[in-house]
Each structure stands twice: as C-alpha cells, then as structure tokens.
Chains A and B, each alone.
Chain A
Amino acid sequence: MTSNDLIEVPILTRVEGEGGVTIRLCDGAIDKVELNIYEPPRLFEALLRGRPLEETPDITARICGICPVAYQMSSVHAMESALGIQITPNIRQLRRLLYCGEWIESHALHIHLLHAPDFFGAASGIALAQRFPDEIKRGLQLKKFGNRMLEVVGGRAIHPINVRVGGFHRLPNAQEMASLIPHFEWGVQAAIETTRWVATFSFPDFEQPYEYVSLSHPDEYPMNEGDIVSSTGLKIPVTQYNQKFVEEHVSHSTALHAVRRAERTSYFLGPLARLNLNRDRLSPSARNLADEVGLPADCRNPFKNIVARGLELVHAYEEALAILRDYDPSGIAHVDYRYREGCGCAATEAPRGLLYHEYTIDAAGKNVSGRIIPPTSQNQRQIERDLMEYLTSHLQAGSSREELAIDCERLVRTYDPCISCSTHFLKVRWEQHS
C-alpha cells in the first residue's frame, strides 16, 4: 500500500477549528474517509482538577469563543446537580434568555458569514455582501442584537462574566433589558425574512437514515434541560448518558469520537436534529414558518441544517422577546449553597447540539475530576459517514476531484463544526492506493 497519488486541496475554511479530511481511494473507489482534527489539545479536564468549583463556568467558557454560554450552562447545571441546588424560576428564565442570545449570535454568524456563501460559490460572507448587501447587512444586525443581549445579561458577548453556580452574580438592569425590546421586535421579523431567503437556496439531493439525538422537554423547545431523546425511540434522563453513549479515541483526531454504546453507530446532533424531534414546541412564528417554507416533518437532508438554523433564529428571537417583556428585576440573583462531596452531570443544547458535562467535587468545594463531551466530537463519526456516502455517489456520477473537494468542504460545513476553535483550515488529502 503506497500513497502514490496524494493531492492536497486546502479547503475547509469558514469553520471553527483546525482540521482536515483525508480521502483514501482504492481501485477508483473511496476506501476510507477520515476527518482529521489536529487542533492542539488544551487539556481542560486536567487543568480544572483541584480548582475551586466556582471557577468552572469561567474556565470552561474558554473552550469555545463562539459558544461560551453553552459551556457555562452545562457546567453550572452539572455543578448544581452535584451540590443539590434548586434554582428559582426567575433564574431559569434568565438562563434561557442568555442562551437565546448565544443561539442568535452563533446561528446568524453561521448562516450569513460561514454557510450562505457556499450556495453562491462565494469565498466569504463579505464577498457575498456585494451580491446580497441587504441580506448580509440584515444578518449582521441580527447577530449584533444577539451579542447585545449577551452583554446585558452576561456582561459581555464573548466569555460572559455574570454566570455563576446557583444563578447570576447580579440580575440584569431592567432599563437595559427594556431597551432591547424594540430590537427584538425587529429581530423576529428580520429572522423570518432570513429564513425565507435561505429556504430558497438550491440544496443538493442527499438524504441519510440518521439517528437524530437532542434534548426534549415537554413544555418548551430544548435548551437547558430535558431528557435525551432520539429518532429511533431512545428516551433517557441525562444521568444515563454514559449507559447509552461512549467516547472512542482514534489516531487521526485530538477530539474523541462519541458513538452509541451498544451499536457503536454514529448519531446526528444540532439544529436539524432538535427541529425534527421538537418541531411542535417551536415558537408560534417559527412553527408556522417551518410549514410555510415546506420543511418536511422528517427532514433527512443535512444541507437543510441552514433552514433549521434560520427557524431556530426566529424561535430564539421570539422566545427572548417574550422573556424580555415579562422581565421582573426583583428576586434573588443566585441561590446559596454549601459544599458537599458529590458528582453531577448535565446536558444542554449548544448551538451545534448536545453538550454533556460531568464533574466530581470534594467537600472543600474543589474539582476532583470532570468530563466534557462537546457536540462536534459527537458529530464527527456522522460527518465521516456522510462524506463516505456523498463522495461515493458523486465519484460514481463522474465528478472531478476538484468538484469533490468542494463538495466535501460544503458537507462538513453544514454541521457548523466547532473543532474546538482553531486555525481553520481543512485540507482535503487524497491518497490513492494501488
């Protein structure tokens, strides 16, 4: 086995993280596809050991500059479970509001600056702005108000400082909250227009029999809590995560691959998974819009993740608006607690999908150990499987390697992978074995 035909195509830009794809060809057919992640490990689980548990939301936020709130939310819920803390309904609402801000900022970024350019052969959102100035400017505004929300509730947009175990350091200022309302009224309509726009894009014809996995809550679209459910009928409390899912370590990635424990199969997380499993709990405007744009009830086309992201953008704006209008600045900012030895776990819905954290703490309030399973490490195996299927069908249809390389990049990007946030350049490497 020699690699006598190695082609390197620098492609996957416009993703968060440093990775590549290696495609091995054998007798003209695709033999193996590997998503290589060479993001240097930062060893968060190790560096947390022995540190005060209070620091966990601030430190784990630094895993990802695009979705720090997700890390803060999963970590505080896990810590609260370990400490036996019950938060107040008011704190719960504010956490959802903060999460809405992050979904908005992250989804608006991905839709307009990272993903939409693919549908028009543009190199960037900035280049796409030449052709669609109004749409891109609207997208930037939508993103901005998500960030503004993060600033008001969280103190700042990237790595918010107001989240703590038990609640918040301080309740947001009522005047600042009220000043957001007109922007969010605009945002609901603007997000609807954005979703209508992306729904008109031309989507590749590609469907797979995915197992979609997400949180699910009886009364609301999933963010901070719920059971873990899947499209094949799984329904478990988050505490049973380890009984149904397991991480594997492969040589070509510094991110662990998570798979279903018994079957060792891949699964699919993120906006399309959430939407398929929780469509009836979307906000009214988002639910109507899903019907209007004709998104099928059981959509299996990963490229339509952008439509799901648009619908969640509408949902996040509409839910945030309702919370803003109801905001009551009285009540406690956080629940006090006493240290105790224990373990706790939690999962929340990061913009990219289910984010699982578990921690063990000691009686002095120190971290003993932790495990963090980000959505992208759970989606990795699925991305590889998709690439295999998609590239095989295109190879059979006579696509050139250059075309395949572009297809490969586009398919990876539909997942909005956050490869723990790194140098963003994905190389497609072709290896021809003879």
Chain B
Amino acid sequence: MPRKPRLAVFKFASCDGCQLSLLDAEDELLAICDRVEIAHFAEASSDLQPGPYDVALVEGSITTDEDAHRIRRVRADSKFLMTIGACATAGGIQSLRNWGQIDEWVQSVYPSPEFIRTLATSTAIADHVLVDFALHGCPINHHQLVDILVALAEGRQPRVPSHSVCLDCKHRGTVCSVVARGIPCLGPVTQSGCGAICPAYDRGCYGCFGPSQPANTTSLVSQFRMHGHSPEKLVPLLRSFNAAAPEFQYASEQLVILGTKSEGSRS
C-alpha cells in the first residue's frame, strides 16, 4: 500500500474560512485523517512537521514582502500546491486596495501608520509561484475540497465542474433573477460550486466563486447596461471578493471608463 500523502495547510492574508472548511467536513474529517497525513495544519494541530509535503493547501493573498518570500518557500517544499478560496486564487476583497492609495488607506485605519508594513497590492498566489490547482469560492465548498483530497490520495487528477452558477439554478428550478426580476446577477459568468444559493434566497449572485472559464463578463455587463443598471451599481458588484480576477477586473475597468465618458469628469 502506498504511503499516505503528507498534507500541509498555509495561510496568508485571509479570514480563515477556507481552511476552516476542512474542519467543517464533520462527517468526513476523521476518515480523511486515515487517508492523508496532516503534517502541518496549525489551526488544528500543535504537531507542526517540516516539509517536504505532497499537497499544500494555500489560503490567503500576498500583501507583505515577507509573505512574498514565504510563498516561495512553501512552493519549494510542496509537490502539489493548491490554492483554496478567492483570496489565494484572485487576491480577495483586500485587493480593492489595488485601486486605492495604500498610505492613505493605512492612515485611515491605524492611528500609528508607521507601525504597519504592507504592500500597495493584494495579489493572487499564482502571481508569485506556480499553482497546480485552484479551488474557487469565498468560501470554498468543503465537499469539493474533500473530493479533491480523496482524488489526490488515490493518485487521480482532481476535477471540479467549470460550468456557471446559471446552469445550477436551472437544475434547482430556481426562477431566474435577471429575467423575472431584473436583478443584476453574476450567475451567468460565475463558476459553479456554491450550489446557486443566492438566487434561491431571492438575491442575485455576487460572484464569490469568481469567473467561470467560458464567461464573457463584458457582454453580460453590456446587457445589464441595456436594462438600465448604472456603472455606479455594477462596478461594486464586479469589484468584491474576486475583484482582481482578470475577467471581472477587465469588465469593471471598462465600466469605469464608460462611466467617466458618460458623466464627464468623475474622479
């Protein structure tokens, strides 16, 4: 019998929710621990073993010089590196700083900004090192995480569906928020994985699983514009937990340009 893969979990700038998802797999947790060896998972265990690791789960984005170095060490120690969640995969909500003035932002939060060292950007892990697999979501879906860990333990290539939330709504039989209620919903361009919960709870999808691969966000946004939704409303919708995902970022920047053109001198 092959040895159990050694699993490590690392955290960068994030809320902890994605790694918590592993502990939220209450029915599977003890069984997973029979299939993989948890070698480094500080939130769950004081027994922190050194690398190399077979699988590293990386949560969080890069916002400090120190973390930009640390992720390289993690990469060097890990055979298979997987990002878990929107922060690691796209930079997270904290990537909104990419459009702001970092010094002014720090000053507005901390009375002694000189104590704070942080970068002007929040960037995805893939901007720094090679990522073998990206699991989307804010937060990730723990069933997908368990499936992937089992696949890796069995030597299979992990896979998750890449279709959009829109199709999941059709499966669930949820009435379309866009068609029936005119709500701007990112379901058509957002990757499946959440279970299409927002439309089922009477609200539009806000894109927390990030862009799906075949998504044409710019086209969807121009449809929303035709339905009368203003850039003022659509830009924040695109700029949230996956603001810096390339497809959402491009679409939001196009909107800002449009808004600037149509309204004259917006700052």
Chain A interface residues toward B at CB < 8 A = 10-11, 13-18, 39-47, 49, 51-52, 55, 58-59, 62-66, 68, 105, 109, 113-114, 117, 123-127, 129, 136-137, 140-141, 143-144, 147, 155-159, 161-162, 164, 169-170, 247-251, 254, 256, 333, 369, 409, 418, 420-425
Contacts and interface: CB of A to CB of B under 8 A. Distances in A.
B108 A46 contact: yes
Given A64-B16, A113-B23, A423-B11, A126 B63 contact: no
Contact of B112 (A51, A162, A249): A249
Kindly name the residue among B109, B118, B138, B241 whose own CB sees the greatest number of chain A CB atoms within 10 A.
Answer: B109
25 contacts: A18-B11, A40-B67, A40-B118, A41-B110, A42-B93, A43-B105, A47-B93, A63-B15, A65-B18, A126-B30, A126-B44, A140-B30, A147-B26, A155-B197, A155-B198, A157-B24, A158-B17, A158-B24, A159-B138, A159-B208, A161-B198, A249-B110, A249-B115, A422-B11, A422-B13
Interface in B31-55: 33, 38, 42-48
B105 A46 contact: yes
Given A58-B206, A169-B201, A249-B115, 8 more contacts: A14-B42, A39-B13, A41-B109, A46-B97, A129-B30, A140-B29, A256-B110, A423-B10
A11 B197 CA distance: 39
A124 B26 contact: no
B13 to A, nearest CB: 4
Contacts of B138: 62, 159
A415 to B, nearest CB: 16
A423 B229 CA distance: 40
B139 A158 contact: yes
B27 interface: yes
B23 A147 contact: no
B134 to A, nearest CB: 18
B96 interface: yes
Contacts of A170: 201-203
Nearest to A406: B46
A49, A58, A65, A162: residue with the most chain B Cβ atoms closer than 10 Å: A65
B167 interface: no
B202 to A, nearest CB: 4
Contacts of B122: 42
A45 B197 contact: no
Nearest to A45: B109
B26 A64 contact: no
Contacts of B96: 47
B17 A421 contact: yes
Contacts of A136: 30
Contacts of B17: 62, 64-66, 68, 158-159, 421
B94 interface: yes
A10 B48 contact: yes
Given A14-B44, A423-B42, A42 B105 contact: no
Interface residues of B, number: 65
B45 A40 contact: no
B173 interface: no
Given A62-B241, A161-B198, A43 B47 contact: no
Nearest to B32: A126
In the A-B complex, list the 4 residue pairs whose CB atoms are closest, starting with the nearest: A65-B17, A421-B16, A424-B42, A124-B45
Given A43-B109, A169-B202, A66 B16 contact: yes
A423 B16 CA distance: 8
Contacts of B139: 65, 156, 158-159
A171 B225 CA distance: 30
A124 to B, nearest CB: 4
A42 B94 contact: yes
Interface in B51-79: 60, 63-64, 67
B137 to A, nearest CB: 9
A321 to B, nearest CB: 20
Nearest to B30: A129
B15 A421 contact: yes
B213 to A, nearest CB: 23
Contacts of A155: 197-198, 200-201
A51 to B, nearest CB: 5
B158 interface: no
B264 interface: no
Given A155-B197, A159-B208, A256-B110, A13 B118 contact: no
Contacts of B33: 126
A404 to B, nearest CB: 16
A41 B97 CA distance: 11
Contacts of B38: 124, 126
Given A40-B118, A66-B17, A141-B26, A45 B44 contact: no
Contacts of B108: 45-46, 49, 369
B42 A13 contact: yes
B43 A424 contact: yes
A202 B17 CA distance: 32
Interface string B5-22: 000001111111111110
